[in-house]
Amino acid sequence: MTHARAYHKRLQQARQTRQQHAKRRRLEKARAHLQREQARAQRHLQVLEQALIDVGLPETLVVEVEWRLQTLGKLLGKIFGVMFPTLFGCQTSYELTRVRGWDKNLPAKLLGALPKRKWVQQLQRRSQDLLVRLWHHVEDKSPATRSRWQWTWVGDDSVFKKWGQPLGLVGTWYSGQEHRVRRGIDGLLLVVVIGEGKLVIPVDFTVRRPDPVGAGRPCYDKLTWLQVMLDRTWAALRRRMQLPPPLVVADSWFGDADLLAHVTRQQQGTLLVEGKRTYVFQLPDGRRVKGRDLLTQDDWPWHDSAQRPGVRYARLTATSPTYGRVTVVIVDEPGEDRYYLLCLDTAITAPRLIRAWKRRSWIEYYFRLLKHLLATEACQVQTEDAYYAHFVLRLLAGLVLLYTSRVLFKGQVKMEEIVFSLKHYWRFLDSELLELQGLSWRHRSKAA
């Protein structure tokens, strides 16, 4: 019995020793994993700071807000928090003030520091400065390099949900995302897509007022607003550099004859839209066809696309009673419904028009970034100026995230990875510029 007891005691001690060693290894592995993730989050934060500096926010927007509020303290960290509440695991400004320990009235003061016109001007100037810098970067490069940095102008609108007490900006709009009419705020955005989506830069933004009243009311529809936004952005850029004629892409809602003619006459550019089934065209051979005939018949001069295998297209020159002389490009892709593109008569090749049309989806990508990754719809302000400030700051936040991911990280780090990393480890990070002080190692294991 004595030998058996000693044997079982040795087995128990060996088992306890193995369990202690396994526990120590798990603890060391978890600590090493925590250190790696914190180091990665710290690197993401440093690159994000560099993106803020490259976009020019600290010396422009922050300085003007500090001057308006007449504050001596640094506001970049506070403005950064209002721009990126999701980086701190928050959706609304109230949650942000609770998490960061700020005054609950601070976000409202920041958003109300400037009138809405000044906020929109900040977005316009920051985007124009970035476009000018990117243009000068590739201006003296080879034609092959410049072709990869082509600009495509894209305009579209989206409905942002709004709960609570309605403001003057809240109306009833058709939501393409939900395929129904709903109440919300309709924002119209104009972006410039660099290359094949290397960078998406918002250059102008406005909110459509649903039912204005009184003489001289600003009852612009989105066709007029797109024309105004394109004119003022193009005029501002032309004063600073020589640009080729713009290629503007929009959906069928913007297929207005006056707007197409205005882009051709004012900017010597081309507005490309998707054609409708009801449009009527007169072909050079005398045939009179409708848009549905272009989508159903097959007796067209088809060409196979060299860039996209399996895709074929047909380019036609026709005359429309509404638009005049137009260029029509019929596109037939495998697995998708046939569609056709429409613009005024142009010498641009059909493959380039198709590539430009494919870039239109990047503005939808930007709207998804605003709504889901940056929680733009979770806004709790009561004035129109504050709403414009909220939208402009989130648009700048999306630009900073895209610039960080696509330019500084060269596409090797996704935006979702940056947000996830900072959301979970921001308490351990240090940043003098953004007023972040990480926890000491004594408390890090407990906090994790």
58-103 pLDDT, tens digit each: 889 989 998 888 876 678 999 999 999 999 999 888 899 999 989 8
120: CB partners within 8 A, 6+ apart: 204, 205, 206, 388, 392
pLDDT digits (tens, 9 = 90+) for 317-340: 999 999 999 999 999 998 889 999
Residue 51, pLDDT score: 94
Residue 52, pLDDT score: 93
Residue 163, pLDDT score: 57
Residue 439, pLDDT score: 61
CA atoms of 221 and 238, how far apart (whole Å): 26
Q: What is the 3-state secondary structure (H, E, C) of 249-279?
A: ECCHHHCCHHHHHHHHHHCCCEEEEECCCCC
Q: Is the pLDDT of residue 441 over 60?
A: no
H or E stretch covering 16? helix 2-55
> What does the DSSP assignment read for 122-168?
HHHHHHHHHHHHHHHHHTTS-HHHHHTT-EEEEEEEEEEE--SS--T
Q: Output DSSP code: residue 85.
A: G
188: CB partners within 8 A, 6+ apart: 155, 156, 157, 205, 206, 207, 208, 222, 225, 226, 229
- With CA atoms as reference, report the closest residue to 110 among 77, 141, 142, 143: 77
Residue 177, pLDDT score: 76
Q: Which residue has the tokens 């396994």?
A: 22
CA atoms of 131 and 410, how far apart (whole Å): 18
Mean pLDDT across the chain: 88
Residue 218, pLDDT score: 47
| Whole-model pTM over 0.95 | no
The percent of residues above 70 in pLDDT, for the chain, comes to 94
Q: Is the pLDDT of residue 7 over 80?
A: no
Coil, strand or helix at 317: strand
Q: How far is CA 85 from CA 13, 22, 80, 375, in A?
A: 52, 39, 8, 8
Nearest 5°: the CA angle 158, 159, 165 is 155
pLDDT band at 404 (very low <50, low <70, confident <90, very high): very high
Residue 226, pLDDT score: 92
**133-142, 386-395, 403-412, range with the lowest pLDDT:** 133-142
Q: Are 254 and 303 in contact (CB under 8 A)?
A: no
User: What are the residue ranges spanned by the domains of the chain?
Assistant: 267-355
Q: What is the dihedral of CA 231, 395, 192, 358, to 10 degrees?
A: -120
